[in-house]
Amino acid sequence: MNNFTKIQDKLMEMGASFVGCSDVEAYLPENLKKVKYAITVGVRLSDFIIDQISDKPTYTYFHHYRAVNTLIDQITLRGQIEIQNMGYSAMAVPASQTVNDLEDRYSGVFQHKTAAVKAGLGWIGKNGLFISTKYGPRVRLGTILTDMELPIGSHVVRDGCGSCRICVDSCPAMALTGNSWFAGCDRSHIVDAQACSEYMNRNFKHIGRGSVCGICIRVCPKGFSK
């Protein structure tokens, strides 16, 4: 059994719904280039909870969001420890942390979606979210960056949105442009992050401290229960 298979088995045992790997050197800031391989962890969300989102998130969805973030942080922390014990460097990227002193104030240290797409696990939809081939957008993501060499393949998943624009028409903040994503496009080509964030803060502060909405997850037909 190779090192990656060992780690993958651990991550799945701990609750990951899917795992993939990629080389993300080109997308890392200079201080992270040493750990250029990414292990993506996806955790599937509860269909029952997501289906209860209407024109606003629910209190249960907010709790689910936080519980899944904690699970992802536990899974990636455990992976990080295992990889370090094998003699390599590793860093678990926080599941959901905004770094306020970056130039873009709606940004994390590294984008989980980039690694997930590079790993061939899905594509970026018109809602700006990662649409997993298995569960649509009803997943949350985590990443472990490492210098342990991983069995990288060359996978390309084609954009599956087609002419659909349900999420675009359903977004109450009118934050989605309706454009299709392409590798290297600016986020603003797809989504106005400020409009989304300000809408959540203005309207859903009492439900989810302004951090959740989820309508663009709920309405996507790619995520409906199969």
* Residues in touch with ligand SF4 (CB under 6 A): 125-127, 131, 161, 164-167, 171-173, 175-176, 191, 196, 199, 213, 215-216, 219-222
Residue 44 sits at φ, ψ, to 5 deg, of -70, 135
Tally the C-alpha atoms within 13 A of residue 162's C-alpha that lie toward its C-beta: 5
CB of 226 to ligand SF4, least distance (A): 15
Element (H, E) at 75: helix 59-85
CB 46 to ligand SF4: min, Å? 17
Cα 164 to Cα 134: distance, rounded to the nearest angstrom: 18
Instruction: Name the segment binding ligand B12 (CB under 6 A); options: 8-16, 29-37, 106-114, 147-155.
Output: 106-114
Distance CA 92, CA 24 (A): 14
Q: Which of ligand B12, ligand SF4, none is residue 65 near (CB under 5 to 8 Å by kind)?
A: ligand B12
Minimum CB–partner distance for residue 30 and ligand B12 (Å): 17
216, 219, 220, 222: which one contacts ligand B12 (CB under 6 A)?
A: 216
Cα 10 to Cα 79: distance, rounded to the nearest angstrom = 7
Of 3-11, 29-37, 151-159, 192-200, which part binds ligand B12 (CB under 6 A)?
A: 192-200
Burial per residue of 145-163, b for 16 or more beta-carbon CB atoms within 10 angstroms, e otherwise = bbebebebeeeebeeebee
∠ Cα 66 128 53 (to 5°): 50
Q: Which amino acid is at 116?
A: A
For ligand B12, the binding residues in 152-191 under the rule CB under 6 A are: 183-187, 190-191
The pattern of x and - marking residues 15 through 54 that bind ligand B12 according to CB under 6 A reads ----------------------------------------
Q: Which token pair is 82?
A: 């295992």
Query: Which of ligand B12, ligand SF4, none does 111 bind, CB closer than 5 to 8 A by kind?
Result: ligand B12
Cβ 11 to ligand B12 shortest distance, Å: 15
Closest to ligand B12 by CB, 6 or 189: 189
Q: What's CA 80's distance to the chain center, in Å? A: 18
By C-alpha distance, which of 223, 45, 15 is closest to 131?
A: 223
CA contacts within 13 A on the Cβ side of 85 = 9
Q: Judged by CB, which is closer to ligand SF4: 132, or 146?
A: 132
Residues interacting with ligand B12, by CB under 6 A? 65, 95-98, 106-108, 111-114, 117-118, 124, 127-130, 137, 139-141, 183-187, 190-191, 193, 196-197, 212-214, 216-217
